[in-house]
Amino acid sequence: MKQVGIFGKRKSGKSALMYALTRHKIRQDASLCAMEISGVAKVMLVDTVGVDVEGSTAEKSAQSVEVALMLIANDSFELELAWISKLRKSGSSVIAVISRADLFPDGGQALAAAVREVSGLETICVSSETGAGVEELDAEINRRLSKE
Ligand SMILES: Nc1nc2c(ncn2[C@@H]2O[C@H](COP(=O)(O)OP(=O)(O)O)[C@@H](O)[C@H]2O)c(=O)[nH]1
Ligand SMILES: [Mg+2]
């Protein structure tokens, strides 16, 4: 089964995003199966331990995910950039996610631009609280999965 991994520091919003993506899917497909994403493939969403936890088991998850969501929740994102390299090396297709975007006055746009510039990655602003960006992220995940 294909896996989509959610990576980020502690409290970056990983678990909330997992539920937001799952809820979105249930509403959209009226499907009882929370793990099915748009009928492209059966995928497993994997919530991981914070990348800022010593001896994080996220290392292990990084080896097995087709698509990796790297959450960034504030403007210090050095550690996240290191993880992006690591994830790319292990063959994952990485999407940078500006998480908890409702907490930024500009919806995370400036941070997204900065991340995009240094990483070259597609960067999507998402709020699990308001639902903003969840649909866009879901569509991008599907695009990546169907390319695999
Ligand atoms: N305002 C806001 N708060 C959020 C959002 N996502 C998560 N949170 C809050 O941030 C905290 C950490 O979220 P959580 O999903 O547990 O983070 P995790 O440790 O990365 O799994 C919790 O108090 C959440 O309610 C969001 O999109 N907007
Ligand atoms: Mg969590």
pLDDT tens digits for 16-28? 999 999 887 766 6
The residue with tokens 């950039």 is: 81
What spacing in Å lies between the alpha carbon of 69 and ligand 2's midpoint? Answer: 14
Residue 41: pLDDT band with limits 50, 70, 90: very low
pLDDT at 33: 46
Average per-residue pLDDT for the chain? 89
So what's the pLDDT on residue 40? Answer: 45
Percent of the chain's residues with pLDDT above 70:
88
Q: How far is residue 132 CA from its own chain's centroid?
A: 14
At 91, is the pLDDT very low, low, confident or very high (cuts 50, 70, 90)? very high
Domain with 108 in it: what CATH number? 3.40.50.300
Number of structural domains, the chain? 1
What pLDDT is recorded for position 121? 97
**Proximal ligand: closest to the CA of 11:** 1
Give residues whose Cβ lies within 5 Å of ion ligand 2: 14-15
Residue nearest (by alpha carbon) to ligand 1 atom 13: 13
Say if residue 137's pLDDT is above 90.
yes
Domain residue limits at 64? 2-147
Closest ligand 1 atom to 103 CA: 1
Beta bridge partners of 37: 41
Predicted TM-score of the model (pTM): 0.91
